[in-house]
Amino acid sequence: MGSWLPGKNNFTDDNHKPFDLAHSLNLCVQEVAKKCDLVRNVMELIYELVQLIKFSPKRQALFDRLRKEIAIQTGGEPLAPSLRTLCPTRWTVRSGSIESVLHNYELLKEALHEIQEGHDDYAAKAHGIL
């Protein structure tokens, strides 16, 4: 195995330093995001929102039903990508989760309105998100 020395082609080195560099960069981005209130709050909101829908078969079925209804109303246009879970420890996969929430924004508002009509803790949570 080679060593991590200036002037060497460290990105093809057998000791996987680029992975360590990417991991360190990921940790730095996470720390910076935690210190920026706006970024931290948006990430927390997306995390809670996706969990509210994805981790309940009943609410996931509601979301899927609304997606199909919208597809029928729009003449069968392609559906927006479904919600993707936001992984709190992997910054590189967060963009997919953020994009899925943006593409489904109106649908999520409608789903949250239906969820808040219930009489449980999740209804209160949906109301708080709205």
Instruction: Kindly report, residue by residue over 1-24, the tens digit of the pLDDT.
Output: 445 555 555 555 555 565 577 777
Number of domains in the chain: 1
- pLDDT score recorded for residue 91: 66
Instruction: Say if 1 falls within a structural domain.
Output: no
Lowest-confidence region among 10-19, 29-38, 95-104, 108-117: 10-19
Classify residue 45: in a domain, yes or no: yes
- Position 3 in a domain: no
- pTM comes to 0.72
Please report whether residue 2 resides in a domain.
Answer: no
Burial of 108 (0-12, 13-18, 19+ CB in 10 A): buried
Q: Look at residue 56 and tell me if it is in a domain.
A: yes
If we measure between CA atoms, which residue out of 15, 17, 13 comes closest to residue 25? 17
Encoding tokens for residue 100? Answer: 């899925």
Q: How far is CA 110 from the centre of its chain?
A: 19
- Asked if residue 48 belongs to a domain, the reply is yes
Q: Which domain holds residue 32?
A: 10-129
Percent of the chain with pLDDT over 70: 80
Is residue 110, in this structure, part of any structural domain at all? Answer: yes
Distance CA(110)–CA(72), nearest Å, equals: 16
pLDDT tens sequence across 108-124 = 999 999 999 998 999 99
Answer yes or no: is 119 within a domain.
yes
